[in-house]
Amino acid sequence: MSGFDAGGSQLDTSWFLLLAAVLFILGTIGVLIRRNPLVILICIELMLNAANLTLVAFSRQLQNLDGQLFALMSMTVAAAEAVVGLAILVDIFRHRDAEDIDDLSELKG
């Protein structure tokens, strides 16, 4: 049992890592089985959030601020990714209806 003190009670780092694993898995399920391109982007955001949670949890465990700064950087990257992904989606939807991600298969070699 290895943890840290939070307001008088002992919290275990493993709990945070397990929760992050569960959220990451949920995001993976969403990316794999959902058909709507928009929902797939949302699920990618969920996975990025889970990764952020592990970064901050390790930052607290090691009492090193670098993890929190990494989390800040990954937040920026996630915002940029969402903006470009949504712009591409809007552009695709303007030309045609793409309710299924498998409709967008022209780029495959």
Partner 1 sequence: MAIAIFFIAAAMAVAGGIGVVSFRQPIRSVLSLVVVMIALSVLFLLLSAQFIFVAQIIVYAGAVMVLFLFVIALLGPAKEIAKSRLRFQASLSALFVLALFGLLWAMLQGVTYRQPDKTADMSIFGTVQSIGLGLFTKFLYPFELTSLLLLVAAIGAIYLSRKEGDDR
Question: From the CB of 108, what's the least distance to partner 1, in Å?
Answer: 14
Question: From the CB of 109, what's the least distance to partner 1, in Å?
Answer: 18
Question: From the CB of 97, what's the least distance to partner 1, in Å?
Answer: 8
Residue number, 91 or 107, with CB nearest to partner 1: 91
Residue number, 9 or 109, with CB nearest to partner 1: 9
The closest alpha carbon to 44, from 69, 77, 68, belongs to: 77
Tracing tokens 């955001």 back to the chain, one arrives at 45
The closest alpha carbon to 30, from 50, 54, 56, 53, belongs to: 50
Residue number, 94 or 108, with CB nearest to partner 1: 94
Residue number, 105 or 109, with CB nearest to partner 1: 105
Question: From the CB of 29, what's the least distance to partner 1, in Å?
Answer: 5
